[in-house]
Each structure stands twice: as C-alpha cells, then as structure tokens.
Chains A and B, each alone.
Chain A
Amino acid sequence: MQALELYDILTLEDDKEYTIAAMTTYKDSEYLYLIEVDKEENPIATNQKIVRRVINDGEDSVEIVTNKEEINEVSKIFFEVFRNMVKEEKED
C-alpha cells in the first residue's frame, strides 16, 4: 500500500475528491478521516467518512467503517485528535 500523508487528496470510486483530515492506527489497521473537497479544495463538511485502508482485488482501497464497536473506538480516537488540533490552535 502506498504511504499516505495528512491532507493528501484521494479520488474514490464515486469520483469525488477527499482530503485526509486525520489518520490513526487501531488494531494494526490504518484509519482515515476523509472530508470531501471541491475543485478549489474547499472542504465540503457535509460529506465526511471514517474509513479503513484495505487491499481489495489487489488494489489499494478504503472500506467505510460500519462495525459498531469499531466505529465507537475509532470515533473516540479521532475526536481526541481533533480536540488536540483545536487546542493547539487556541494556544497558538
């Protein structure tokens, strides 16, 4: 799998572009918090996804997290990541 960085822009099968707002690792899997961006790279806040990186048919893919336990745990982690980001911003 290709290495990804924060704010990289991914085009998914719905032909929409998403930026990586946050990344985390949980139980050996890589999770991304994706926010859709328009052509000018403005975030479209109404379209966000928490996904897990997977290999599907030998291709780099993302799977939307749907498992109850998993989404609960990953949401907490992302919340903390975002809170820290906000906090750091305020401190600056």
Chain B
Amino acid sequence: MAEIKSLNEQIDLFRKKVREHQQKVINNEIQVSNVKDLQVFFEGLIILTNVYYNIDKQLTKKQRQVVKEKLERELSYIKISNQLRSGLTEYHKTKLFDEKEWEDFCTIIRYQNLEYSLGQKVDIATWNQYESIALKVLAAESRMMKRIHLSVSNFDINRGEKGKRENYELNLNTFLKMDLFGQIEYLEKLIENIEKRKDTKAEIVVGGLSKEISCEYAYNYQYYTALLDNLYLKREEEFEKIKKEQKIDEEPLPDIKVEDAEEYVYFSEEKDKIENQLMRLVANAFEAPKEETVEVKLFTSNMEENIKISRKDISSYEILFEKYKMLLQSGKEQIEKLRQYGIDPFKKSDKEIENVKNDILKKIAFLQQNKNGNLAIDACIQEKVIEYCKLSKQENFRFMASFIHFFKKQGFSNEDAKALAKLAYDPEVFAKNKNIPNEKKEKVLSKLFSTIAQKETIKKEEPIEEIQENEDFQIDWKAVNRMSFKEEYEYFGTLAAKISKYSEKYPNNQIHVEFEGHMYPVNEKNKAQFEKCREEAKRVWNEWRGGLKKEHPEVNNPEGIIKKALKKIKKQEERMPESDKKYISKIKKIRKPKNKKVLQGKLKKTILQIVVVLSFTACLFVGALSQRNTQETSIKTGKRLEELAKEDDDSLKLADELGDLLAKNFMAQKVSNEQNVIVGQLEVDQVQELIDNGYSVDEDAKIYENYYDAYNDVNAKTAYFSNESYRDVTEVVYKCDGSLVHLRVDDPDFEAQRTALENNGYELDSVRGRNENGTGNGYEGYFNIEDVDVFNTQIGGR
C-alpha cells in the first residue's frame, strides 16, 4: 500500500509539473527554445509508467482505473508534444519551432485540454469554446502534418520488450490522418509484427482503449479492421453518452449553396459530419443549371481536394454505380475464397455493415422501381448518389484491403494492385477527376472489369489444383523481375508446390525449369538444392518483413534469391557427369521421303558401313553422337560384336596391314602388333575399303578413342604422350630390308654407328623418346613421323 501511496504522490507531482508547463505554453510564457523541456517530461513519464507497471498487480481494478484516469491527460499531452517535437525536429533538422508552428502547437494543446475537460464534465460554455476552436485546430493540425511529412516507414509501432504480453499501440491521431493506403500499410506492419510472435498474447491499444487479441488470428486486415471498428464504436459511444447526458443539441449543419465556392474544413474524426455535408453538397448540385459546375475545396487534416460537380457528371454515376455493384460481387467472391483457405473475414461488426448495405441496396432498388413513378428522375439519381456515398463509406478500407489483396492475387504488381484497388474502391472519385475525360473513364473501367472477368474465366477453366501431364513450368522471368521480393517468393513458392504435386502425380516424367534460355531438369539432386534456396529465401523474407533487417541487401536485388539458386543449379548441372545430362529435341516436322526406295538404296551403303564401324569401333560413332563414350563400353561392345561376327564364320583376319593402313592414311597409330591394339578414329570410306579387302576384327582387339589412352593401357603407365610433355629423344631406329637397328643417342659411338648404317642403305624409321618429367627411368615409346622431326631438331638429322 505504501507503494501505491508513493505512486499517487508521484503522479500528483508529475501532473502538477506538466500542467504548469502546459499553462505556460498556452499563455505563451514559455519561449520557443524551452520546448526541450518536453523531453524531460517525457522521460519523467516513462519512469512513472515503469513504477505503475511494477505495482500494477497490486492494484485493484478501481485503483488501476483511478491511476489511469489521472495520468490520461498528461499522457496525451506528453505524447502529442513529443510526437510533434520529434516530427518537427526531423523536419527542421533543429530543435526549434518557428513562431507559426509554436502558435499551432499551442492551439492543439489548448484544444486537447478542452476535449479532456469535455470528457470529464461537459458544460455548454466549454462545448462552445471547443466547437469554435475546432476549425482552427484542424487547420493547425493540417499544417503541422504537412510539415512533418509523416510516412508509413517512419512509424514505429510501440511494442513491449519484456514479458509475455505484447502491447501494440495504434496511434489513433496519426492513423486517422493517413490515407487509406497508409492505414492499410500501417496495419500490415502491425499484423506482421504480431504474427511473428504467435506464442504470446498481444494487446492492441486504440484511442486509449485496449483489447487483448490472440496472435494466432492476426492474419488478415478483416480481423483488425473489425477490431478497430469495435474500438472506434466504443469510443464514439462514450462520447455520445457524455453529450446526451449534458443534453447538448447537435449544431445544425450549415447549408451549402451551389453559388458559393467555399472552403470547408472537416474534422477527420467526425466522419458522419463529412458524409452528411458531402451528401448535401451533391444533392444541392442538382439544383444548378445543367451546364454549370460548382467547385468546392475540401480540407481535411491530411487531404486537400478540389471537386467540381455538375448534373452532367452525376448522371454518369448511375453507370458507375452498376459497376461498383459488380466490384462488390467480385469482392464477395474473393472473401469466399478466403473462407476456403480457412479465413473468415467477417466478424460481428461486418455483419452489421452488411445489414446497412442491404438496407441501402433495398432503398436503391425501390428508387429504381419508382424511376418513372412519383419521384422525378433527377431526384432518383440524387437519392442513389447519396445512398452510394453511404455505401462507399461503409465499405471503408476493409474493402480496399480486400481489393489490393485481390488484384495482387490476380497477378498485378504491388503498385498496379494499389492503383486498381483505389479505382475499384472509389469509382466516384475517379469519375470526378476533371483531368480524365469521361470517355477515358469509361474505357478504363471497361478494361478493368473485362480483365477481372477474363481472369476469373481463365481461373474457372484451369483450376490450380488440376495438374496436367504436359504442365509448363517455365518461369516468366520478365514478370519475376517486376515483382517485389514478397511476390517473387510467393511466385516461386507456388511453382515449387506445383512441381511437388506434379512429381507425385507423374513420378516418371522429367521436370524442366527454364533459365536463361535453357531447360534444366529438376531432378532429385537439384530439387533438393532448389528447396534449400527456397528455404533461404524464406528466411531472408521473414527477417525483412519482420523488420529485423529493414534493408536486406538481397531483398532489393533485382535478380532475387531464387534466380541465384537457379544459377547454382546451372553450375551444378555443368559439373554433372555427361551420363546424367539430358538432350531433348522436339520433332518439329515429320514427312515421308520423296522416294522411299531410292532412300532405302542410299542407306544400304551407310548401314553396311555402320555394321562394320560397330564391329570395329563398337560404340565410337554412337558414343560420339550421343556425346559420351567410354573405353570400357567400346571394348565390351566391340567384343560382343566380334563374337557375333564369329558366329557368322566371317573370315577373321586382324592383320598388321590393317594397322599400317590406319597409320598411313588416318590419324591413327598402331601401337603394338603383338597385342592387336588399334588406335584411332575410323572413317567410313576407309572402313568400307577394309571390308572390301576382307578385314575383320581380332577377338582380342582393343579399341580406343585416342592413342594416349591406348599407350597407357598397353604399358599400364600414366600419361606419357601428352601434347604438353616435352620429349627427349633417347633412341633412334634404322630400317633396311625389314631389319631394324636401334641406336642409343647417349652412346658415345652413336654418331659413328649412325653414319655406318646410313652408308649401308639404312633409313631412319622411327625414334624413341623419354619424358623429361619421368622419375629418372622415364617412359619410352615409339614416336611417329612428327617425332622424327623432333629428333632431327634435337640430334641433327641428315
């Protein structure tokens, strides 16, 4: 109890100080520079609040209420002061107000005090004072807000840092001054903040009233707007209650005359007043001559708009209204879809709005029926416009939020979705825009509706759940590059889900994803990679939207994370063994040959060659054609083919001549006659010649693609004859009448022996060499004629 007593004392002291300060502000006793004092008060308030929270549990409900009420006024004062101070500090880059700003500031504070007094005890004198100052305050607010340039990104949503309960305070003053898009974005941010902390309870505070919400439901605008509506209503009810108690008659609204181009300032919180006045304005416009237009300038705290109204314009509302109803229908369908996803966008308050809407629609229908009856046509239209205004306002941003979501889902970019939603939300404003000719307006609307209708039709024809065997998984990169990160993530998420479904349904079909003009298979290996990258994207996205990293470098990367992932896949693909690659070609055309018999005849020779080639070189051709070949396959297949050839009793002669022939005429080398190894690529004409001469393949023949492989296989050594290796000639071979003589070049008698041989008719046949990289022993082998040149260069040929 001592703590409570102490708290009360602190509160009283604090209040006293704040009010003294406030009074000085109002009396212009405090100089501009002293605005810094507000910061001191603000810090004092924080300390006090902490004390309050520390003893919160000890307080009874009544005590808590007393403390809250006591502090409310000061809290409000400090908050608005601090907000304006920080806002203007940002604006001026200094801590000082100018004179006009100071005046505006004082007006706002005075107004707040009056408002607070009315809340405590309403009397006519205070009310009149309150009313008289209202317009000034709004003008001041308007000026202040314009200077401050509040934007969504600058808003910090207050959140408790400790404890299980999270408090999300919605700054009502700021919120109401935002346009609808701002409000939606603000809410979106709020929702996302809460969404992150699903395991905790959250409390949302609006206009001093708070409501506990369960975070698991924090997933859509509808929930929040319903919540806010309830809080607004409660607040309004309280205000109305106070007014009724004091029996204050509502001031009559001023008549608006069409002849006057007047300026009106509307208080944004008093929505009904604005609507009524607007309706009167529209209604009066019908009294104007047909060609005459009336220009009215409207101010609200955050909006300034010139509106021209004429009868001509109003007559087109009828068409727009029909379209508006269509949009409502689309919105309903969208809501139905949300329900299918397990989201119920309508809460109790929505039902009330639905009832109002139904009443309005009934009234419109009644007016429609009486078009040719008692009521004049103009009056009918006039009534309809009024009802339309009501209807439009009732929808509020719930409708807008639904439509932004709707258009995004339809594939529009974020910006386009907003623009379209704006149009769909308020075609009236669109219709009134004097910069857009009526014809253009009609065209835009027609296009919008046809787009929606078309997309809806397409959707009905091609339900997402139905996956076709010939499903196209090509990525629309142009569209992806235009997407925001969130949209990109969703796009690939949908794609990945579709691929998964497809894989389940058609497990034997290969899926390809197009990237930079190439089709890449999504196989088990890179599918895992793809998923890994998606997870990475998800992580980054969560960080970004959760506000943990406001400027994540990857978020603004136009290529996006998924594209990077595909690049990785591409690299992986390039590293894949040849045997895992797929080469697919579409059959562009099928036709019959000009003359089948002629073609058949022409093919005979080729087929014969194929038989031979397959016999000799096994898979060389096939391997080369199929872009892969292995020595092992060649050998195996070659052996098998030879066995088949044997069965046919073909004459089997693998002779030295074959090797010689190959060596002489083609880029081939007979390495070892004893082992029957043939190296080199056969050409079909040559093979034909061999066949004509009765050649066949020895059963032990080995066939290689190149002579390096062959040499190494024969000698069981590492590469010796590589292009890069430098070869030292170690031995030369002289030949005469079939006999060979080997001479070592390091033999001291080499030159003498060589001269003797040459003088006796021997000719240089070949040379042997040593790899300089050899381990001292070196590897030796025959060189071909090119190496004789090496010999000549090194040793000196004759």
* Distance in angstroms between the alpha carbons of A50 and B107 in the assembled complex: 89
Most B C-beta atoms less than 10 A away, residue of A50, A56, A58 = A56
B644→A79 contact, CB < 8 A = yes
Instruction: Flag B586-619 by CB within 8 Å of A: 1 or 0 each.
Output: 1111111111101110111111111100100011
* Distance in angstroms between the alpha carbons of A85 and B569 in the assembled complex: 45
A12 / chain B contacts, CB cutoff of 8 Å:
585-588
Chain A contact residues: helix, strand, loop or mixed:
mixed
A15 / chain B contacts, CB cutoff of 8 Å:
588
* Distance in angstroms between the alpha carbons of A15 and B600 in the assembled complex: 22
Q: Give chain A nearest CB distance to B610 CB in angstroms.
A: 5
Using a CB–CB distance below 8 Å, which chain A residues touch chain B? 2, 4-5, 7-15, 19, 21, 35, 37, 41-43, 45-50, 54-68, 71-72, 75-76, 78-80, 82-83, 85-87, 89
* Interface residue from A4, A54, A62, A64 paired with B627 (Cβ < 8 Å): A64
A65 / chain B contacts, CB cutoff of 8 Å:
626
* Distance in angstroms between the alpha carbons of A54 and B32 in the assembled complex: 82
Q: Give chain A nearest CB distance to B596 CB in angstroms.
A: 5
Q: Give chain B nearest CB distance to A50 CB in angstroms.
A: 6
B684→A45 contact, CB < 8 A = yes
B583 on the interface (CB 8 Å rule)?
Answer: yes
B582 on the interface (CB 8 Å rule)?
Answer: yes
Per CB-CB distance, the 4 closest pairs between chain A and chain B, nearest first, are A58-B470, A11-B589, A64-B583, A13-B585
* Interface residue from A19, A35, A37, A83 paired with B611 (Cβ < 8 Å): A83
B579 on the interface (CB 8 Å rule)?
Answer: yes
Q: Give chain A nearest CB distance to B525 CB in angstroms.
A: 16
B606→A86 contact, CB < 8 A = no
B630 / chain A contacts, CB cutoff of 8 Å:
68
A78 / chain B contacts, CB cutoff of 8 Å:
614
Contacts A41-B594, A49-B626, A85-B604 known; 11 new A-B pairs at CB < 8 A: A9-B592, A19-B599, A43-B602, A43-B603, A48-B625, A67-B579, A71-B622, A79-B641, A80-B644, A82-B610, A86-B611
What count of chain B residues pass the 8 Å CB interface test? 56
B491 on the interface (CB 8 Å rule)?
Answer: no
Instruction: Flag B643-664 by CB within 8 Å of A: 1 or 0 each.
Output: 0100010000000000000000
Q: Give chain B nearest CB distance to A65 CB in angstroms.
A: 6
User: Do A86 and B608 contact each other (CB < 8 Å), given the known contacts A11-B587, A42-B602, A72-B637?
Assistant: yes
A7→B600 contact, CB < 8 A = yes
Q: Give chain B nearest CB distance to A82 CB in angstroms.
A: 5
User: Do A50 and B625 contact each other (CB < 8 Å), given the known contacts A13-B586, A71-B619, A79-B611?
Assistant: yes
Q: Can you list 6 pairs linking A and B with CB atoms under 8 Å apart?
A: A4-B590, A9-B591, A21-B610, A57-B472, A57-B512, A64-B627
User: Do A62 and B588 contact each other (CB < 8 Å), given the known contacts A19-B599, A72-B636, A76-B640?
Assistant: no
In the complex, the chain A residue whose C-beta lies closest to that of B598 is A41
Q: Give chain B nearest CB distance to A39 CB in angstroms.
A: 10
Q: Give chain A nearest CB distance to B358 CB in angstroms.
A: 49
A9→B625 contact, CB < 8 A = no
* Distance in angstroms between the alpha carbons of A11 and B589 in the assembled complex: 5
* Interface residue from A62, A85, A86 paired with B584 (Cβ < 8 Å): A62
* Interface residue from B470, B578, B592, B611 paired with A82 (Cβ < 8 Å): B611
B712 on the interface (CB 8 Å rule)?
Answer: no
* Interface residue from A60, A75, A80, A82 paired with B619 (Cβ < 8 Å): A75
* Distance in angstroms between the alpha carbons of A35 and B621 in the assembled complex: 12
* Interface residue from B578, B586, B611, B614 paired with A56 (Cβ < 8 Å): B586
* Interface residue from A2, A13, A71 paired with B588 (Cβ < 8 Å): A13
* Distance in angstroms between the alpha carbons of A64 and B644 in the assembled complex: 26
B607 / chain A contacts, CB cutoff of 8 Å:
21, 82, 85-86
B674 on the interface (CB 8 Å rule)?
Answer: no
Q: Give chain A nearest CB distance to B472 CB in angstroms.
A: 6
A66→B582 contact, CB < 8 A = yes
A66 / chain B contacts, CB cutoff of 8 Å:
578-579, 581-583, 626-628
* Distance in angstroms between the alpha carbons of A60 and B591 in the assembled complex: 14
A63 / chain B contacts, CB cutoff of 8 Å:
582-585
Q: Give chain B nearest CB distance to A85 CB in angstroms.
A: 6
* Distance in angstroms between the alpha carbons of A82 and B587 in the assembled complex: 24
Q: Give chain A nearest CB distance to B168 CB in angstroms.
A: 50
A86 / chain B contacts, CB cutoff of 8 Å:
607-608, 611
* Distance in angstroms between the alpha carbons of A68 and B637 in the assembled complex: 11
Most B C-beta atoms less than 10 A away, residue of A12, A47, A79 = A79
B578→A72 contact, CB < 8 A = no
B724 on the interface (CB 8 Å rule)?
Answer: no
A14→B585 contact, CB < 8 A = yes
A7 / chain B contacts, CB cutoff of 8 Å:
592-593, 596, 599-600, 603
B606 / chain A contacts, CB cutoff of 8 Å:
21, 35, 43, 45
B633 / chain A contacts, CB cutoff of 8 Å:
68, 71-72
B605 / chain A contacts, CB cutoff of 8 Å:
43
* Distance in angstroms between the alpha carbons of A14 and B583 in the assembled complex: 12
Instruction: Flag B571-585 by CB within 8 Å of A: 1 or 0 each.
Output: 000000011011111
A19→B603 contact, CB < 8 A = yes
Most B C-beta atoms less than 10 A away, residue of A10, A59, A68, A87 = A68
Instruction: Flag B556-574 by CB within 8 Å of A: 1 or 0 each.
Output: 0000000000000000000
B587→A61 contact, CB < 8 A = yes
B614→A35 contact, CB < 8 A = no
Q: Give chain A nearest CB distance to B450 CB in angstroms.
A: 29
In the complex, the chain A residue whose C-beta lies closest to that of B591 is A9
A55→B470 contact, CB < 8 A = yes
* Distance in angstroms between the alpha carbons of A54 and B519 in the assembled complex: 15
In the complex, the chain A residue whose C-beta lies closest to that of B610 is A82
Instruction: Flag B453-495 by CB within 8 Å of A: 1 or 0 each.
Output: 0000000000000001110100000000000000000000000
* Distance in angstroms between the alpha carbons of A91 and B512 in the assembled complex: 49
